[in-house]
Amino acid sequence: MSTVLVTGGSGYIGSHTVISLSENGYDVVIVDNLSNSKMEVLNRLEKITGKRFKFYNIDCCDTDALRKVFEENKIDSVIHFAGLKAVGESVKIPLDYYSNNIGSLISVCRLMSEFNVNNIVFSSSATVYGSSEDVPFTEESPLGVCTNPYGWTKWMIEQILRDYAKADPSKKVCLLRYFNPVGAHESGLLGEDPRGIPNNLFPYISKVAGGTLDCLTVFGDDYDTPDGTCLRDYIHVVDLAQGHVKALKFLDKTEDSVSVFNLGTGKGTSVLEALNAFEKACGHEIKHVIGPRRSGDIAVCYASTAKAEEVLGFKAQYGIDEMCSSCWKWQTMNPEGLKD
């Protein structure tokens, strides 16, 4: 059985990916420092899969601590999710973002070299692309000038991984550029569990729908889009998880040292469309007001999915209705999120 080290594996996307890996016959070792996730995720994973995954509470930047994981387990490949991801926070504490996101990646790569682990899948982001004029973004679209330190860490890590693979021909890298991951596991046992007031649309809508927050502010309705609100490519987290399994299988057979894939649906959904779909899922109106634009937002962002479809055989199965209904189930079953 092939063993995958999943860093950040108790986080939102990581935990859903652990399920897909397990369903596809992989053995999983999770490393997470719980800076943005909770131990309870391990219990939930056990309920869903019937397995208790090996878990290390380790900061990936701590190379010596992380070495223990490579010594104690025969790791065959790595999926590196561990990182900080809040755009606004990254503007306030840029050094923390650069040191955590880049430091953890370098530490993982050093240990991959030391222990002859060759394949790594990295969580990149559509945030590395340029302006809305280029949509749909293909993997060849020009990389943009990032508007925040978080985005730059993704941009820089992509470059670091290219250099790493160039210097050592045994290494194979898969950069997955996610669009907007949303939704939750169908069981309602796992989902996005942000600390504090959410920054992202879906967790915010969920909390207004559930009554924990009062009102959604729609950030601008004067964009050059059909209803004036921004378009995004929302992708169900369960589809996204499946994309990682496809990426691992692809790395086993490809000769290319670096491969890049968009993971999205190829479809743009406006803020108001998302809100309407959520109202349908929860069965009641969701209070909202139109506010000013949020700084840094681009009008339109969606993926070209052709390459992922042709080369990885990846095609998202779920649409916006399933994204909303799974979010709502997660919200109603866990109104206060998971316990620490």
- 147 Cβ contact list (under 8 Å, min separation 6): 296
- CA pair distance 105, 27, nearest whole angstrom: 22
CB of 8 to ligand NAD, least distance (A): 3
Identity of the residue numbered 254: T
Residue found by looking up tokens 């131990």 in the block: 39
Nearer to ligand WQD by C-beta: 154 or 171? 154
Asked if residue 259 binds ligand WQD (CB under 6 A), the reply is no
Report the residue from 184, 230, 237, 308 that binds ligand WQD according to the rule CB under 6 A.
Answer: 230
17 is a contact residue toward ligand NAD (CB under 6 A): no
Chain residues 155-184 in contact with ligand NAD, contact rule CB under 6 A:
178, 181
308: exposed, middle or buried (Cβ count in 10 Å: 0-12, 13-18, 19+): buried
Residue in the block written with tokens 């002859």: 116
Query: Is residue 327 at the binding interface for ligand NAD, with CB under 6 A as the rule?
Result: no
Tell me how long the chain is.
340
Mapping DSSP to helix (H, G, I), strand (E, B) and coil, where does residue 25 land?
coil
34 binds ligand NAD (CB under 6 A): yes
The residue from 5, 59, 270, 302 that contacts ligand NAD (CB under 6 A) is 59
Strand positions, DSSP E, 8-108: 27-32, 54-57, 77-80
Number of residues engaging ligand NAD in binding (CB under 6 A): 28
β-pair partners for 38:
none
Beta strand 269-270 pairing with 231-232? antiparallel
Distance CA 92, CA 146 (A): 15
Q: How far is the CB of 283 from ligand NAD (least distance, A)?
A: 26
Assess 263 for contact with ligand WQD (CB under 6 A): no
Under the criterion CB under 6 A, does residue 206 sit at the interface with ligand NAD? no
What does the alpha-carbon distance between residue 109 and residue 212 come to, in Å, rounded to a whole number? 41
Report whether 84 contacts 139 (CB < 8 A): no
- Shortest reach from residue 35's CB to ligand NAD, in Å: 4
Q: Which of 150, 164, 223, 234 is catalytic?
A: 150
Site string for ligand NAD, 110-129 (x = CB under 6 A): -------------x-x----
Whole-number minimum distance, CB 152 to ligand NAD, in Å? 12
Q: Which of 20, 22, 28, 37 binds ligand NAD (CB under 6 A)?
A: 37
Q: In the annotation, is 204 catalytic?
A: no
172 binds ligand WQD (CB under 6 A): no
Distance CA(4)–CA(1), nearest Å, equals 10
Contacting range for ligand WQD; rule: CB under 6 A; set: 108-116, 157-165, 217-225, 314-322: 217-225
* Residues acting as catalytic residues: 150
